[in-house]
Amino acid sequence: MKTKNPYLLITMLLFSIVVSAQSDNGNTTSSEPLITDRPDATEASSTVGKGVLQIETGGLYESFEDNSVQFQSYTYNTTLVRYGILDNIELRLGWDFVEGVTKINGNKLDNVTSGLSPLLLGVKIDISEEKNGMPEIALIGHVFPIFSASRDYRPETTGVDFRFSLSHTLSEKSSLGYNIGAEWGNDSPEAAAIYTLAYGYSFTDKFGFYAELYGDLPEDSSANHYWDAGFTYLVSNDLQLDTYVGTSITEGQDLLIGLGASFRIPSN
């Protein structure tokens, strides 16, 4: 079934989460605020903790126009489920539902694509804590099985990526996070180096801001560079809302805009 209004779905999702959190009489169930892998492209350098289930979801819109041909992509569901099997290891599962639209001179073509992108299966492992000027470090790896994708978004080869995630505390209110790794995918045998660099600042205990550069550098193709920035709001220690906007520095993306929510179910 084709969804008529993706933003209505996202709004309903966020509303239901907020209502659920407020029904707890404002009490937080965890002593420390959750740390998420969204909304930026920079993955956090810490795991969720043993027995903790964390769900991070949202939606986004992307567009790119080239010679009067506009490509639009609506991702209605960007859900990532993270579960801690040990204090330093988490399992990761993610799945996106995407709809692609092409317009020529403002006229929408009939070849609309829609369906699930390949499933994300992965693991994150804590390597070291921040100490004596050295960053906190984690290793993350994912595989994207082709059988899990809908026909419109099924690649010919299985995708794989890995990255090291690092972070530094700059002050009581600010931090710096960055990822370095590589990926194989998009039906191409060539590897692409990937990088991210994100600066985060907390205006208050609940309201935060981030700005980020990220991209990829394929072996035999032109590099792709992007930026984005956004805000986060901590409703409770176990619930965070976010919104963000961005675009590409190189050619490929005119506009990126999204919003989402992350919530945590602590272990008993």
- Closest C-alpha among 30, 131, 17, 35 to residue 90: 35
> What's the pLDDT score for residue 190?
86
Q: List pLDDT tens digits, range 114-172.
A: 999 999 999 999 999 999 999 999 999 999 999 999 999 998 889 999 999 999 999 99
Could you tell me the residue ranges of all domains in the chain?
6-265
User: Does residue 34 carry a pLDDT above 80?
Assistant: yes
Query: What does the alpha-carbon distance between residue 18 and residue 262 come to, in Å, rounded to a whole number?
Result: 11
The whole-number average pLDDT for the span 97-121 is 92
Percentage of the chain exceeding pLDDT 90: 78
The whole-number average pLDDT for the span 57-78 is 94
pTM of the model: 0.87
Domain 6-265: give its CATH architecture: Beta Barrel (2.40)
Query: What does the alpha-carbon distance between residue 187 and residue 126 come to, in Å, rounded to a whole number?
Result: 31
Query: What does the alpha-carbon distance between residue 56 and residue 260 come to, in Å, rounded to a whole number?
Result: 8
Query: What does the alpha-carbon distance between residue 114 and residue 111 come to, in Å, rounded to a whole number?
Result: 10
Q: What is the mean pLDDT of the chain?
A: 89
Quick one: pLDDT band at residue 78, thresholds 50, 70, 90?
very high
Query: What does the alpha-carbon distance between residue 167 and residue 197 come to, in Å, rounded to a whole number?
Result: 10
31 by Cβ neighbours in 10 Å (0-12 / 13-18 / 19+) ranks as exposed
> What's the pLDDT score for residue 25?
38
Q: List pLDDT tens digits, range 181-236.
A: 999 987 777 899 999 999 999 999 999 999 999 999 999 889 999 999 999 999 99
Q: Are strands 192-202 and 174-184 parallel, antiparallel or unpaired?
A: antiparallel
